[in-house]
Chains A and B, each alone.
Chain A
Amino acid sequence: MNKWEQIQGIYIHIPFCLQKCLYCDFASFPQQSREIMEKYTDNLCQEIQQRALVIPVNPQATIYFGGGTPTVLPMEYITKIVKTLKSTGLWKNPAEATIEANPGTISRESLLAYRKLGFDRISFGIQSLKNEELMAMGRIHSSLEALEAINLAKEAGFLRINADLIYGYPGQTLGSITNSLQTLIEQGIKHLSVYGLVVEDGTPLCQKLNTGKLMLPSEDDSGDMYDFIVKYLPQRGYKRYEISNYAFCGEESLHNMVYWQYLPYVGFGVSACSFNGKMRLTNTNNIVKYLQGKEPIIEELELTTRLEEYLFMGLRTNFGINFSVARKRFNLDIMKIYEKEITECQSKGLLKVDDLQSGMNLTELGMRFGNQVFEKFL
């Protein structure tokens, strides 16, 4: 069976945290009572049991618990969700099972428990290893706690650890980014996600910037940070396998690859999305409505929409787009349809087509100016 005809990833959204970070735009609700969490868990499990899946699930489909902060959910609820996934056959023999964690919300015991449930990968929101920056972001942990958490995870047997980092945040400098990266590399972390800050409307950060209470680094300063990151990490053995993701060989996030390859996935919980290859389901991002049982919004995706998304997602990775896979999947010849666009992007040095004309991917310049390429395919 073709991999785009099977669900390849399963996502669980835990919309709780201790405190909202200033830049956070995700569906997450801080300081919720145990009752709410319990009710949420029940609804979530019900959703898992009742969702009718129109296509089969790959027994090796990846598992990803994201948030919010999944690790604020009491262990018994996490356990219940995992059990539900297992009993419904969604969690069989996953190629990877990741849980996101805030360094301020874990303990030796909880980490061991996650391992025991079957999680083999942990993704820490580290963001920075400079305390002033962590404060300015509204993070609840210190740099020291972050490093301790990483150590605990290693001790608990997590062999695959990711750290998320932000660059371009107000107050950040090239020096502080360098230090944060260096320290993490010394910890032996094999996967790093380094995101340029995106200021989302309506976040406290956005407001602070608008009122002049905080100031973003200049375009040139964050440009310098970008230049440093994309050069430095590969020198230290991390392959840039996606625009913002770096990993040692074989350490790539399999779950995220499902998204970037535009393969089917299913998501449960507030704001979660599912995609079966033809349709997209989007759950409400309002927790009250979710608890009242609001149905997801269903979108039928037209071929052009799917093709566009396939291209701009696929081009994000260094694997790029394989023409014969695309031909088989969409019954279309990308080289022909987008001949003009491909040639233009090639001439600008943004895109390269391999010698055998079997596929295309972004050049280093193309990764820097990805939107200019993505737009061309819309």
Chain B
Amino acid sequence: MSQETIRNFSIIAHIDHGKSTLADRLIETTGTLSKREMEEQILDSLDLERERGITIKAQAVRLEYKAKDGNEYMLNLIDTPGHVDFTYEVSRALQACEGALLVIDATQGIEAQTLANVYLAMEHDLAIIPVINKVDLPSADPERVKHEIEEILGIDASEAILCSAKTGIGIDEVLEAIVQRIPAPRGDSSRPLQALVFDSKFDAYKGVVLYVRVINGNIRKGMRIKMMATEKVFEVTEVGCFVPKPVSIEILEEGQVGFLAAGIKNVRDARVGDTVTNNDNPADVPLPGYRKATPMVYCGLYPLDNSDYDNLRDALEKLQLNDASLVFEPETSVALGFGFRCGFLGLLHMDVMKERLEREYNLSLLTTAPNVIYEVFRTNGTVEMVDNPSLFPDPTVIDHVEEPFVNATIIVPKDYVGAVMELSQEKRGEYDNMTYLDETRVMIHYSLPLSEIIYDYFDKLKSCSRGYASLDYELHGYKPSNLVKVDILLNGEPVDALSAIVHKERATYRGRQLVEKLRSLIPRQMFEIPVQAAIGNKVIARETVSAMRKDVLAKCYGGDISRKHKLLEKQKEGKKRMKQVGTVELPQEAFMAILKMDDNK
């Protein structure tokens, strides 16, 4: 097949702007799947993705399209995640394409995440086709959106396509534009094989399945391939493409997108971003790869039932096969026993992973509050990366501490600028600059500690802007901060899993809030429980969970044994959700208390 009739493209969009709906409509319109076969939003293949309306993993689908010029085209759609946590995956997908559909909600306009994705697309020199979606809605304002596209993104909006993925308006135009405005791949069939691995997936039967974009040469079943970074050699057992269910094909040629299986047992042997070449006729140089995704958020994961430790490790290993950005290593907590310190791309990533562990592996887990990695400079000149607050060294041996900062982009209607700035200031943000996007909307840049974003910045941003603000951020680097560790003591015993790193000026205030919150979260028990916050040896706040006075069924007679039996079972079940720390039973929420504090109180 000639490369002239191949088009490789992605869809980039802010969350909720209709990316998945558009993808579904393209699949349906090209007849790749009949309406009956269509499951809503077919590309989100994890249950969780469908429930949350988000895409986490990149996916590739081959569409066959007969264009108005009479030719048959092969359109390869590479779906991308829309959440800031997964920017890294977007960048991978874009590298496998020549063009991108930029989907913007006609009722919302450009959002912070749109911007970030467009810049990524531009970095990769992609042809960008603006698609203004949801034009069927009464509140749609395509003219304003066009204006924004030109003003903010500097993209010619005269050829922006007005569409409604929901009703089908403009879908044909989108397909034609893909053919006409996105360049065909320019691979060379005579050169040795170079194929970019843009994602991978572990399959229990086939081993690691690599999602590849062939740049030069071709791949066939039986070929001996070499992974250029790891130098491992495998024999290809299957090549195929997604339509959108995976199907085997004979050959993947230059310019095409598909998958290959080669009996690869270990995901580490075939890393995403690596280049596949022909072992018998290797390419000289690999394709430019990717940066490794760096986890930004860490937390402890502990099984509620200590005997589940091995199951948790197995489950984490299995998840890591599909998601190399997940990192974990064993850790021990005095309070919680054996568990793992896990690193995630962001909070959503953390949530999704925890939920998958609980659902797919049937584990009951306890998560400690997420934190960032601190760089601790000791007085003896050594530097240490601390990913667990409880391991924060004693203040006397610390020279200074640095924490990660992000460049945050906030887009918000101008009426809320004051509120956003006040919030950002309060969260230790450093103001950078502000631009008017049009008469009503403003883009603000702040440098913010990542830890504040993890705490509650995003929730607060949403509530102070009545939901209108959008946020995007990228890691910028480390800056010195005046940080201290606040320890929490229950019954006079420190609980390492509850320690938190906070800014020194707010330590007392935070400590007081934290113990208040803990007092309200810890259920009364048979004895009184003092809850204290301390910095070093100095107690800065104290509250008491008073003792439960009684806990006994007042009545139980012949007629209600069965009912009372169930009642007791229910009470027992409730306790299984608690973690025994020393003599105290703690609910999961207690470990998240630091995230749930109300500053306005």
Contact = CB atoms under 8 A, between A and B. Distances in A.
Contact of B557 (A219, A220, A256, A367): A256
A282 interface: yes
B204 interface: no
Contact of B562 (A13, A223, A280, A370): A280
B528 to A, nearest CB: 12
B553 to A, nearest CB: 6
B551 A369 contact: yes
A282 B526 contact: no
B554 interface: yes
A313 B561 contact: yes
A222 interface: yes
A195 B558 contact: no
A348 B526 contact: yes
Contacts of B137: none
B561 A369 contact: no
Given A196-B550, A259-B558, A370-B552, A308 B571 contact: no
A372 B559 CA distance: 22
A226 B568 contact: no
B549 A273 contact: no
A216 to B, nearest CB: 13
A312 B561 CA distance: 10
A259 B562 CA distance: 12
B569 A378 contact: yes
Contact of A226 (B550, B553, B572): B550
A195 to B, nearest CB: 5
Nearest to B552: A370
Interface string A1-34: 0000000010101000000000000000000000
A256 B558 CA distance: 8
A182 interface: no
Interface in A302-323: 305, 308-309, 312-313, 316
B575 interface: yes
B555 interface: yes
Nearest to A194: B554
A13 B565 CA distance: 22
Interface residues of B, number: 25
Interface stretch (A72-80, A173-181, A264-272, A287-295): A264-272
Interface in B517-565: 524, 526, 546, 548-562, 564-565
A298 interface: no
Contacts of A370: 551-553
Given A313-B561, A348-B526, A368 B554 contact: no
Contacts of A91: none
A267 B552 contact: no
Nearest to B524: A219
Nearest to A272: B559
A325 to B, nearest CB: 19
B565 A309 contact: yes
B313 to A, nearest CB: 26
Contacts of B558: 9, 11, 258-259, 265, 267, 273, 275
A106 interface: no
A219 B36 CA distance: 59
B554 A244 contact: yes
A374 interface: yes
A195 B461 CA distance: 51
A51 B450 CA distance: 74
Interface in A247-269: 256, 258-260, 265, 267
A260 B564 CA distance: 13
Contacts of B550: 196, 223, 226, 368-369
A243 interface: yes
A367 B552 contact: yes
A209 interface: no
Nearest to A349: B526
A280 B561 CA distance: 10
Nearest to B565: A309
Contacts of A267: 558-559
B559 A244 contact: no
B559 A195 contact: no
Nearest to B569: A378
A371 B551 contact: yes
B524 A375 contact: no
Contacts of B554: 195-198, 243-244
B561 A222 contact: no
Contacts of B575: 375
Contacts of A313: 556, 561
Nearest to A348: B526
Contacts of A256: 557
20 contacts: A9-B558, A11-B558, A11-B559, A222-B549, A223-B549, A244-B555, A259-B558, A275-B558, A280-B562, A282-B562, A305-B565, A313-B561, A367-B552, A369-B526, A371-B551, A371-B568, A372-B551, A375-B572, A375-B575, A378-B569
Interface of B: 524, 526, 546, 548-562, 564-565, 568-569, 571-572, 575
